[in-house]
Amino acid sequence: MKKIFPYLFLLYGTLSFAQLEKGFVYVQDVIPDLDVELRYNTSNNFVGKPIHGYQSNKLILTKETAERLKLVHEELQQQNLCLKVYDGYRPQRAVNHFIVWAKDLNDTVNKQVFYPKVEKRNLFKEQYIASRSGHSRGSTVDLTIINGNTGEALDMGSPFDFFGQESWVNYENITETQKRNRQLLQKVMLKHGFRNYPKEWWHFTLRWEPFPKTYFDFLVE
């Protein structure tokens, strides 16, 4: 029996990783101490319920993205800071869930938290919701910086996934501390090969991503 157990472990271990598409990794295998809180696996998001396709708090990204993110994380740790990730790879079925939700104008359960100044009917027009997301290509990540001792997120001037100008990278009507925090995140991410999205301070995509035209739909599990 002693010879069988290692075989079974290898077998089931292989099966667990076979769920991923080739070229993708579980990021915490690359960055074991990374803080991950996939908001779409919870009800703490603009929809107000877990999103289709998210079945665990497992952060998945392309291998190249995870390796670059590790460099960011290690540089921040030199300042007693760390990364916290809110989303990475996002199945297309999750994007479809957003689309269906956005068309239901009566469902505004989390409006006051996430989009108080935007009419739900305008979410498509103002490009807060789209039919395709770079996240589904596996090399886009939403994140912030946290204090290495307390785990508390640095004040960026607006919450993650807040729909409004307050979330624009260069929004001026925030404090100097909030501006410095945003600039720190931008600087370290851009240094290690990511490009930002000007309307979301938390959103970054790996330059020269490996699947620039492929939108995946495997589960986050």
Active site residue 221: no
Which residue intervals of the chain are DSSP H helices? 4-17, 27-30, 63-77, 92-103, 111-114, 176-191
Q: Quick check: 46 and 115 in contact, CB under 8 A?
A: yes
**Rounded alpha-carbon distances, angstroms, from residue 204 to 52, 67, 151:** 22, 14, 21
Options 21, 64, 172, 200, the catalytic residue: 200
Q: Quick check: 143 and 82 in contact, CB under 8 A?
A: no
Where residue 174 falls (left for φ over 0; alpha for ψ -120 to 50; beta otherwise) is beta
Here the tokens at position 215 are: 């939108």
Q: Quick check: 156 and 185 in contact, CB under 8 A?
A: yes
DSSP result, 32-85: TT-EE--GGGSS-SSSSSPPTTB-SS--EEEHHHHHHHHHHHHHHHTTTEEEEE
First-last CA distance in the chain: 31
Here the tokens at position 17 are: 């990783």
Residues known to be catalytic: 200
